Amino acid sequence: MEIHSPAGALPHIPDDLTVPQFIFDCEHSTRPRRNASTPWLIEDDTGKKISGDELRRRTLGLANGLRLKYGILLLFSRNHIDYPVAIWAAHRLGAVISGANPDFSSNELLYQLRETEASIIIVHPDALATALSAALEAGVSSERVVLFNAKESVPSNTTHETVNDLIELGLRSELAFVERRLRPGEAKTKLAFLSFSSGTTGKPKAVAIPHYAPIANVIQIAAHNKVNEAYCDWKDRRYRPGDVAIGVLPLYHIYGLVINLHFILFTGMSLVVIPKFNFEQMLKSITRHCISHLLLVPPHVVLLCKHPVVKKYDLRKHVKLIMCGAAPLSFELNQKLFEMFPDAHIGQAYGMTETCTATTMWPINQKRGKSGSGGQLMPGTIARVVKLDGTLAAYDEVGELVIKTPSVALGYSNNKEATKETFIDGWIKTGDEAKIDRNGEVWILDRLKALAPAELEGCLLDHPAVSNACVVGIPDDYSGEIPVAFVVLTATAAEEVTSDPQASEAIKDSIVKKHVADHKVHYKHLAGGVEFVTAIPTSPSGKLLRRILREQAKQLKRTVVRTKL
């Protein structure tokens, strides 16, 4: 059975625009008129307000300063007021953007540099050393490392150009480029982003996202939420021009990039750009800037519900919407949010990088989403649930969720095999176990895909005490899912553990707190720890039987190791 969106018809999606042309210049039936006095961006620490005209000017200046010297730009930075300017300037030139996690180690950044073949890095000064190390290994000249301006951490003796330098150069120089105008239909194939995802298996892959995909998703979300329709009293509308959203989600991630940045600006709202997450500082920002819309992930919600410092702040008078994505929330957390914010719109959304973010969202006729549900399919989206025997599930039957949406990516860059496994005749195999009920609500039950297993397993096998390893994910209220490693020790290490029981904890610490922590970004750390086993279960063909170990891991009482926020 195929399930179609109950949210109505999908409005027209322009297929001849780049992302900045859509954001700056496009009038659309789903787009409300922005109040002239409403800023587009607000800088969190200074309160500086930036208008659309100023963003347009800076985008033109940076594009002219960069000119056509560069092909793929890699942004290695925490959130910054000029992060979207860099995106739109690159797109004005016809270039492609790839955002990288600013907490990456040098070898993780090197992997992304090599996968994208980026020719320039725009980096926050506090990540400069890592960027230079990776650039050297990748053969990218240090002259092609450009700094975002951040007065507190720009080295006084730096020889690197800054974004401001390039903007000023571009604005005082004659126009040196002609902006690309796309032919009808070309936005569906013209590459805009290389955004990294674990996909359903293996190492992170570069998801090739054309300009059409984020444009389509913004329009889908706007139509789903009736953004430009008088469907109820003004005070109860979910998104209104002049409202203020928090920009705490990282802009290198698809959720932050498409929904938190482009969709929020499309609705005529302001976005408070927060460079680095700190929970109490976030609460202060909500009250200081009168933030009405919180776009969050489960770790934020856990703190919001459980941290004692929340009692110091009167958040109810500001907050009118909370959306959570990236992983399911537990029933208990949902109920706590409902109690804390009795008048707010609260719900969840579901999507993935390969669908250029959201495919489901809680319906507009419900102020509160159903606890545990990802919501209903958005306009233009079709879903199937495929059972283990390959047949289509009926309502409330469990299987793998498979999605068709106009915001679909082109595939994985330079990876035909992985593309063939996931992108099938316009459909996306999500790798998530789900069911759809008779109301069209999509319930994500489990991840059939493992949490970046091959990458972590490869790292573990480099440890001198590890002979074999299998990584599985287990549910966690805070992170949605955390990795646990089942490890087979080498003969020497196993003998050491047998003769000295204290050696077991020492080896586990060396794996979790030293080896993996030194080589992987914090969210890939083994928060669920290590369990020693004598053998890894495999199928007759040698495939790791992760499901067996996942069930075994769920039975373990584990002390979760967290990175302090």
Q: What is the DSSP string of 214-275?
A: HHHHHHHHHHHTTTTS--S-GGG-SS-TT-EEEE-S-TTSHIIIIIIIIIHHHTT-EEEE-S
- Give me the pLDDT at residue 63, please: 95
Q: Is residue 560 part of a domain?
A: no
| Tokens of residue 432, six digits | 């998530």
- Pairing of the two strands 145-147 and 120-123: parallel
Q: Same structural domain for residues 316 and 235?
A: yes
CATH code: domain of residue 470 = 3.30.300.30
- For 110, the domain range is 51-181
Residue in this structure with the two tokens 């009808």, named with its chain if needed: 184
Q: Same structural domain for residues 383 and 496?
A: no
Instruction: Please report, for residues 73, 106, 130, 396, the alpha-carbon distance to residue 102 in angstroms, rounded to integers and kept in the order given.
Output: 15, 10, 9, 41
The residue among 447, 466, 484 that closes a domain is 447
- Can you give the pTM of this predicted structure? 0.83
Q: Same structural domain for residues 274 and 352?
A: yes
Q: Same structural domain for residues 484 and 503?
A: yes
Q: Same structural domain for residues 270 and 152?
A: no
CATH code: domain of residue 303 = 3.40.50.12780
Based on C-alpha coordinates, what's the Rg of the chain? 24
With H, G, I as helix, E, B as strand and everything else as coil, classify residue 430. Answer: strand
- Give me the pLDDT at residue 72, please: 87
Q: Is residue 282 part of a domain?
A: yes
Q: Same structural domain for residues 141 and 232?
A: no
Torsion of CA 442, 255, 400, 378, to 10 degrees: 40
User: CB of 470 within 8 A of CB of 536?
Assistant: yes
The residue among 181, 204, 221 that closes a domain is 181
The residue among 181, 198, 232 that closes a domain is 181
Q: Same structural domain for residues 292 and 329?
A: yes
Q: Same structural domain for residues 420 and 300?
A: yes
Q: Same structural domain for residues 114 and 131?
A: yes
Q: Same structural domain for residues 296 and 439?
A: yes
pLDDT per residue rounded down to tens, the chain (565 residues): 899 998 888 999 999 999 999 999 999 999 999 999 999 999 999 999 999 999 999 999 999 998 755 578 999 999 999 999 999 999 999 999 999 999 899 999 999 999 999 999 999 999 999 999 999 999 999 999 999 998 656 566 678 899 999 999 999 999 989 898 999 999 999 999 999 986 445 578 999 999 999 999 999 999 999 999 999 999 999 999 999 999 999 999 999 999 999 999 999 999 999 998 899 999 999 999 999 999 998 878 888 988 889 999 999 999 999 999 877 777 788 888 999 999 999 999 999 999 999 999 999 999 999 988 999 999 999 999 999 899 999 999 999 999 999 999 999 999 999 999 999 999 999 988 899 999 999 998 866 554 556 667 778 878 888 888 888 877 776 666 778 889 989 888 888 888 887 888 889 888 888 888 887 766 677 888 888 988 888 644 445 677 788 888 877 755 555 544 4
CATH code: domain of residue 128 = 3.40.50.980
- Give me the pLDDT at residue 323, please: 96
Q: Same structural domain for residues 177 and 294?
A: no
User: CB of 381 within 8 A of CB of 345?
Assistant: no
Say how many domains are in the chain. 3
Q: Same structural domain for residues 220 and 159?
A: no
**Residues of the chain by 3-state class (helix, strand, coil), percent to 5:** 35, 25, 40
